[in-house]
Copies of this chain bind each other. A is one copy, B any other.
């Protein structure tokens, strides 16, 4: 795919996603104002919308319609944002900076930050369920996508990953345990974006398997690259505290395998992801472009 064309496409899609997110939330003036201000502060903080883009790209690769994909696209971004707000709390990773701005609790206080996370998590599922379905088949797919999203966010996914992450501080982790942590903390939600988009798009079994392989590889690559960036990039570029994992003596892909091995793993995972979606041909160009963006990003 022509990279400049794909960038144009993504810019336009990002705009549509942001508009849908805006419509899905009460305004900052809606009562009680504090919580809506706090929710919007973090949701519209310049995120790259990788997860919603994955939902749409996966759904479109199997012929899904945008209107059926957008509720999940919004939901995964809300859930991603909720997890960042809660992970940054003083009781958790205690981060002051996120995307170059003070973290939610630094601006609104801990109580409101906890509630803003709760509100986003709730709204994600609410939005998925409230959006009307045109056809009965769409309703069944929606239900499957909600169930899959729920699983990705629970104690074997997002929440479980954060627990493991905290428990790994100051400990040596085996390569297997680290991969398990990564799969839960980052991989599960990314995989749910791809698999959920595929379900809503009406993917058959073979396509589900291909997209599942892609999702698996991309999900793991994302976290490996995150670890590389934490070890090598400046806080200024990352927009969050850098070197934090090392300071907290957290197990990362870099601390367990070394920087070079981490980089080559990311590159191998990219190849694996691209191979998995090759049978789709040009319909999967956006998925291929997203895999590259994930592995080659600098922040």
Do residues B139 and A114 form an inter-chain contact, with CB atoms below 8 A? no
Chain A residues engaging chain B, CB cutoff 8 angstroms: 26, 30-32, 34-36, 39, 82, 86, 89, 91-92, 109-112, 114-115, 117-119, 121-123, 125-130, 133, 136, 139-140, 142-144, 146-147, 149-151, 153-156, 158-160, 162-164, 166-167
Known: A91-B110, A121-B121. 6 other contacts (CB 8 A): A91-B109, A117-B118, A118-B121, A122-B153, A126-B150, A139-B143
Shortest Cβ distance from A79 into B: residue: B122
A86 interface neighbour in B114, B133, B153, Cβ under 8 Å: B114
Nearest Cβ in chain B — how far from A136, in angstroms? 6
Bound form: Cα–Cα A156–B39 in Å: 14
A35 interface neighbour in B30, B150, B163, Cβ under 8 Å: B163
Nearest Cβ in chain B — how far from A251, in angstroms? 14
Do residues B122 and A32 form an inter-chain contact, with CB atoms below 8 A? no
Each complex incorporates copies of this chain amounting to 2
Chain B residue numbers with a CB within 8 Å of A122 are 121, 150, 153-154, 158-159
SS class, residues of chain A in contact with chain B: helix
Bound form: Cα–Cα A153–B124 in Å: 11
A32 interface neighbour in B136, B142, B160, Cβ under 8 Å: B160
Do residues A146 and B129 form an inter-chain contact, with CB atoms below 8 A? yes
Do residues B143 and A125 form an inter-chain contact, with CB atoms below 8 A? no
Chain B residue numbers with a CB within 8 Å of A125 are 125, 146, 150
Bound form: Cα–Cα A168–B105 in Å: 20
Q: Which of A82, A133, A146, A163 has the most CB of B within 10 A?
A: A163
